[in-house]
């Protein structure tokens, strides 16, 4: 049976710090436990979001029992992980196990907002660059059109001048032939 989620690196990091010799300062352990709680909350939210769709697919027979068992195992793992984190948090400070998850959820929300701001900034930069390129292309096209228009006017002026010279030449010939 495959795991629903990849390896929980935050959990591994916390356990590694916990077992370090010499021991690491408590604030490092607290920070690692909070990161572990953030990952647990992220996974919990994902499971909660996926569960209704999977239940519906299970009812219609679109997915097999194996997939549902994998999902159920992931759900149980998350529940156990949440309980373990709460117990660990209470070893640092009594009652922290009750608030660590709300703090983790707030931090996840902050990360999400920060990522959205970065994405929006990147989109704005792309749009600004696209607009700049479009403006440059428009300016180049306008310049080319102006040049073509100028060349056309010059050709027309030259043709008109040639036509005028031909007409004058014909008038001179006509006047000369009338005098004879």
Q: With cut-offs at 50, 70 and 90, classify the pLDDT of residue 1.
A: very low
Structural domain range at position 88: 9-117
54: in domain:
yes
* C-beta separation of 85 from 105 below 8 A: no
19: in domain:
yes
Percent of the chain at pLDDT above 90? 84
Q: How many domains does one find in the chain? A: 1
Distances (CA, A) of 129 to 61, 117, 139, 151: 49, 18, 15, 33
Q: Write out the two tokens for 138.
A: 């428009």
Distance between start and end Cα atoms, the chain: 116
């Amino acid at each position: 049976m495959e795991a629903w989620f990849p390896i929980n690196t935050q959990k591994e990091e916390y356990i590694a710090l916990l077992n370090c010799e010499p021991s690491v300062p408590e604030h490092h352990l607290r920070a690692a436990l909070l990161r572990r709680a953030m990952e647990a909350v992220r996974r919990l939210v994902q499971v909660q979001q996926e569960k209704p769709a999977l239940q519906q697919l299970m009812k219609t027979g679109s997915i097999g029992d194996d997939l549902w068992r994998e999902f159920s195992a992931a759900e149980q793992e998350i529940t156990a992980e949440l309980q373990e984190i709460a117990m660990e948090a209470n070893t640092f400070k009594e009652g922290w196990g009750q608030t660590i998850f709300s703090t983790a959820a707030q931090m996840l929300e902050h990360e999400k907002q920060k990522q959205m701001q970065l994405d929006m900034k990147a989109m704005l930069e792309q749009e600004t660059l696209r607009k700049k390129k479009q403006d440059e292309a428009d300016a180049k096209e306008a310049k080319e059109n102006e040049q073509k228009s100028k060349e056309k006017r010059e050709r027309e002026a030259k043709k008109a001048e040639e036509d005028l010279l031909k007409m004058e030449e014909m008038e001179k010939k006509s006047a000369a032939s009338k005098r004879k």
